[in-house]
Amino acid sequence: MKAQLFGVAFSATLLAACAPIPPPSVLGEVEQVRRGAAAQDARRYAPTAFAHAEKLRVDARRAHEEEDPAGAQILGEQALAAYTRAHVLSRLAHADEVQADARETRATSQAELARVEADQVRAAAELDAVEMKVKVAREAQAVMPSGKADPEREKARVEAAKSLALQARTLCAGARLLLGNAGPGTEPAAGAGGAGQAALAAGSRGAGTPAAPRGGLPAAVTSDLTAQVAEASAAVDKLDAALMAAASASPIDEASRVRARCLKVLTAVRQAGMPVAAGPGGGDVLLKEIAAAPGWDPIRDDRGVVVTLRGLFGKDASLTPAGEKRLQELARFAVSHPEFPLTAVLHADREPSPKEQATWKARADALVRVLGAAQVQHVETVLAGARVPVADPTGPTRSRNARVEIVFVSPRLF
């Protein structure tokens, strides 16, 4: 009996010894992780790290098959860590992909927004150009004769005609600068208030270096525009002569026609040099730049961007140190926007005497010298006298009438 029991026990021991060793539990965890969604993401976004984890899994399985439970345990734990690392790397890679897509979408949206904004700016510019054409056409219409008036009204008409004549001269000066046809030296023209005012009404044409002719224009177009500018300028001189003659009736109607003519030729030069289809110009940019700088108060009119300066000169023709510094500061804008030539309009606070004519001419020359030293290449001066006061010429604020207008002549319609 004892022998039989011993045989049974011995057989059971042999069977137990021959049974396969169960795999470590870590291998089951590895298989679960491998079949999960995180592992599939790792396979796509971090293939190198995933392949390393797969190798460790295979090595762990081989160690188990070779009856190395300790090695299988270690390799299985390393495989788990490798899968975790691959998952982290896959999340980072996926985040980078999402970020790249977001950047591309943002860039596309920004490009579309820029296109829409450019279309809006272009449409606004075209509208401005149309409005300018309408204005030119309206001013070019035949002027109804003013007829006779009482002495007081005639006096007011004379003053208005003087202002229109000065506006015409500065508009023609702008057209001449844009064409690069500034004339040499000071050209006398008739004025409206005596011999002294006569010389002051003259434009100091070509006081600076003439602008280069506008590129891209056929010679025939340039020649035709030059002739138009010359004819309009001659009409201004003739108007000044009529004002100088002090006829019984003021030439107010002719003054309106001459101003409209100069505006028309300036518009023609702008249209020829830069068609509307080319896009918006830099007038708004320049205006914003000057306005953003402290101490300036620019405005915009038919001529371009205008800045008014006061207190530039002392009692003689010399610029004061503060005035020279102020002028140099303004010159920076002209240098950074060379497509805008300058017209400097010098206004007096009272009618200059014949003796003071040379002083005003010297002041104009001093302006040009300072601007030229600051690398401003294209300048034309206009001596306006006391034609266009901004304060009562007989009141306590009369000194405000003495000023210098620096006009950045716009090369485009808008």
- Shared-domain flag, residues 278 and 262: yes
Determine the average pLDDT of the residues in 136-164: 71
Does the pTM exceed 0.75?
no
Reported as a single tens digit per residue, the pLDDT across 167-216 is: 999 999 999 999 885 444 433 334 433 333 333 444 444 444 444 445 56
337 in any annotated domain: yes
Contact 269, 136 (CB under 8 A): no
205 in any annotated domain: yes
Bridging pattern class, strands 379-385 and 403-409:
unpaired
Structure confidence at residue 192 (pLDDT): 35
Q: For the chain, give the mean pLDDT.
A: 80
Rounded to an integer, what distance in angstroms lies between the CA atom of residue 380 and that of residue 207?
5
Which of residues 88 and 26 earns the better pLDDT score?
Answer: 88
- Shared-domain flag, residues 55 and 167: no
Structure confidence at residue 177 (pLDDT): 92
155 in any annotated domain: yes
**pLDDT for residue 352 is more than 70:** yes
Contact 208, 372 (CB under 8 A): yes
- Shared-domain flag, residues 217 and 329: yes
How many domains are contained in the chain?
2
Of all helices (H) and strands (E), which one includes residue 117? helix 69-140
Reported as a single tens digit per residue, the pLDDT across 106-122 is: 888 888 888 887 666 66
- Shared-domain flag, residues 165 and 126: no
- Shared-domain flag, residues 148 and 236: yes
Reported as a single tens digit per residue, the pLDDT across 52-91 is: 888 888 888 888 888 888 887 888 888 888 889 988 988 8
Last residue of a domain, one of 78, 112, 141: 141
Structure confidence at residue 384 (pLDDT): 92
6 in any annotated domain: no
13 in any annotated domain: no
- Shared-domain flag, residues 146 and 128: no
- Shared-domain flag, residues 149 and 99: no
Determine the average pLDDT of the residues in 397-406: 94
Token pair for residue 376?
């401003």
Rounded to an integer, what distance in angstroms lies between the CA atom of residue 320 and that of residue 313?
5
Domain that holds residue 55: 20-141
- Shared-domain flag, residues 124 and 147: no
**pLDDT for residue 129 is more than 60:** no
Which of residues 17 and 55 earns the better pLDDT score?
Answer: 55
Contact 212, 248 (CB under 8 A): no
CATH code assigned at 360 = 3.30.1330.60
- Shared-domain flag, residues 276 and 307: yes
- Shared-domain flag, residues 264 and 362: yes
Structure confidence at residue 238 (pLDDT): 92
- Shared-domain flag, residues 387 and 295: yes
Contact 356, 395 (CB under 8 A): no
Structure confidence at residue 217 (pLDDT): 73
Rounded to an integer, what distance in angstroms lies between the CA atom of residue 334 and that of residue 181?
19
414 in any annotated domain: no
Contact 407, 172 (CB under 8 A): no
- Shared-domain flag, residues 296 and 180: yes
Last residue of a domain, one of 122, 141, 160: 141
348 in any annotated domain: yes
388 in any annotated domain: yes
Token pair for residue 184?
């040499």
Rounded to an integer, what distance in angstroms lies between the CA atom of residue 305 and that of residue 177?
15
Q: Which range has highest mean pLDDT (55-69, 196-210, 248-262, 362-376)?
A: 362-376
Residue among 402, 378, 379, 371 at smallest CA distance from 389 = 402
Last residue of a domain, one of 88, 106, 141: 141
Reported as a single tens digit per residue, the pLDDT across 301-339 is: 999 999 999 999 998 899 999 999 999 999 999 999 999
How many angstroms separate the Cα of 14 from the Cα of each of 8, 9, 11? 10, 9, 5
